[in-house]
Amino acid sequence: MKVSASFLSSSNVPMDLRRLNETDVDYIHVDVMDGKFVPNKTMPFSEMKNIYKFTNKRLDVHLMVEDPKKYIPLYAELNTEYITFHVELMDQVEENLELIKSYGIKCGLAIKPGTPVKSIVPYLPLLDLVLVMSVEPGKGGQEFIPGTKDKLLELRALLDSYDSNIVVNVDGGINQDTKKFCELSDILTAGSYIIRGESFQEQIDGLR
């Protein structure tokens, strides 16, 4: 199982990113919030871009924003493996997936807990990743929604029938107890569970 570490709940981002460099974590999950798609707002890109000074890991960028095309060119400049935004944006989805791909970066669609799996069907030919939200997007430290297990089952069946290499990532409330509901995922994204642990590597090992 791959692990992506979110630093959203960190109170000392440079220090925690340096500590994550010493682990075998696969990605750093970068949560971006605009105060519109979700009520909270994360630091502006002018500050966020300094992340390259502190991490040597590839980035897994999660845009919780109303207008992804404003952010995609910025995050495409960094050491980015995936850029993901939300399928709930409807009419803007295809153009933004194409924009991510135009930078040679892998693209993903995130689905909120209340959004049906079938909403991604029209975009399957373009997708590299599906991010299943196991909490309502907007903040770290929330409780895992148990229905996520059935959603993963449905998503896996859809992806198998489509015969694709699309990767599945689950995000929100992941810890040693809830990971058992996510066996059908390829990547687990965890924030507070890793950051609040004494040894980051031990927490990461607990998720693999």
- Binding stretches for ligand DX5 (CB under 6 A): 6, 8-9, 29, 31, 62, 135, 137-142, 171-174, 189-193
Options 62, 86, 151, 179; binder of Zn ion; rule CB under 5 A: 62
* Smallest separation, CB 29 to Zn ion (Å): 6
61 and 79 in contact (C-beta within 8 Å)? no
Closer by beta carbon to ligand DX5, 14 or else 141: 141
Whole-Å CA distances, 155 to 24, 59, 161, 186: 28, 24, 10, 12
The interface partner of residue 190, options being Zn ion, ligand DX5, none and the CB cut-off 5 to 8 Å by kind, is ligand DX5
* Smallest separation, CB 40 to ligand DX5 (Å): 8
Closer by beta carbon to Zn ion, 26 or else 171: 171
The interface partner of residue 140, options being ligand DX5, Zn ion, none and the CB cut-off 5 to 8 Å by kind, is ligand DX5
Q: Residue holding tokens 């990605």?
A: 27
Options 68, 167, 171, 188; binder of Zn ion; rule CB under 5 A: 171
Closer by beta carbon to Zn ion, 79 or else 125: 79
* Smallest separation, CB 189 to ligand DX5 (Å): 5
Structure token digits, residue 15: 């220090």
* Smallest separation, CB 11 to ligand DX5 (Å): 13
63: Cβ contacts below 8 Å, ≥ 6 apart: 32, 71, 72, 75, 83, 84, 85, 86
The answer to the question of residue 86 lying near Zn ion (CB under 5 A) is no
x/- contact string, 8-47, with Zn ion (CB under 5 A)?
-----------------------x----------------
| Calpha distance 77→72 (Å, rounded) | 9
Q: Give the active site residues.
A: 31, 171
- Residue 58 has phi, psi (to 5 degrees) of -70, 150
- Residue 51: count other Cβ atoms within 10 Å of its Cβ: 19
| Calpha distance 22→113 (Å, rounded) | 33
Output b/e per residue, 68-101; b: 16+ Cβ within 10 A: beebbebbbebebbbbbbbbebeeebeebbebbe
| Dihedral, CA of residue 157, residue 162, residue 163 and residue 164, to nearest 10 | -100
* Smallest separation, CB 185 to ligand DX5 (Å): 14
Closer by beta carbon to ligand DX5, 33 or else 93: 33
